[in-house]
Amino acid sequence: MIEDDFFSTLKLKTGEEIFAKVAASDENDVTMLLISNPIIINEIKSKSGTVGYKVEPWLKTTTDDMFILDLDDVLTMSESNDIEMIMMYQNYVRQSKKGNNSKLNRRMGYVGNVNDTKELLEKIFNKTKD
């Protein structure tokens, strides 16, 4: 039987801390957690003291959005009613569903190839040795 889903912060035994929409399921005396769109949130502080947040997917090499965790792999979990955190999560999920269709351009930074960049860095390094 699957319980109603809720937003939660989970601390895994591996040390990872993730935020996700969670639903619990009991099957054959084993509790499994169904986690939807798990994310990692990192606090970013600027030199001026401004604080922001960076939201990243928990697993970066998959397009799946639903995962199953054994409750035995979870150290602790806390249901979240933090509206700001939930809104960041929902905004991230909406953006990831749209996909990132932006193309690289020069306004994003220098666009070059590996060989040119290597040559440039070697010149800079050699100048600093002299």
In a structure prediction context, what are the per-residue pLDDT tens digits for the chain, which is 130 residues long?
556 899 999 999 999 999 999 999 888 888 899 999 999 988 888 888 888 888 999 999 988 999 999 999 999 999 999 998 999 899 989 888 776 556 666 665 666 677 777 888 888 888 877 6
* Burial track 36-72 (b if 16+ CB lie within 10 A, e otherwise): ebbbebeeeeeeeeeeeeebebbeeeeeeeebebeee
Domain-embedded: residue 120: no
Q: What is the pLDDT of residue 106?
A: 62
Identify the CATH number of the domain in which residue 34 sits. Answer: 2.30.30.100
Q: What is the pLDDT of residue 35?
A: 94
Domain-embedded: residue 90: yes
Domain-embedded: residue 110: no
Domain-embedded: residue 62: yes
Q: What is the pLDDT of residue 98?
A: 74
Residue-number span of the structural domain to which 23 is assigned = 6-103
Domain-embedded: residue 67: yes
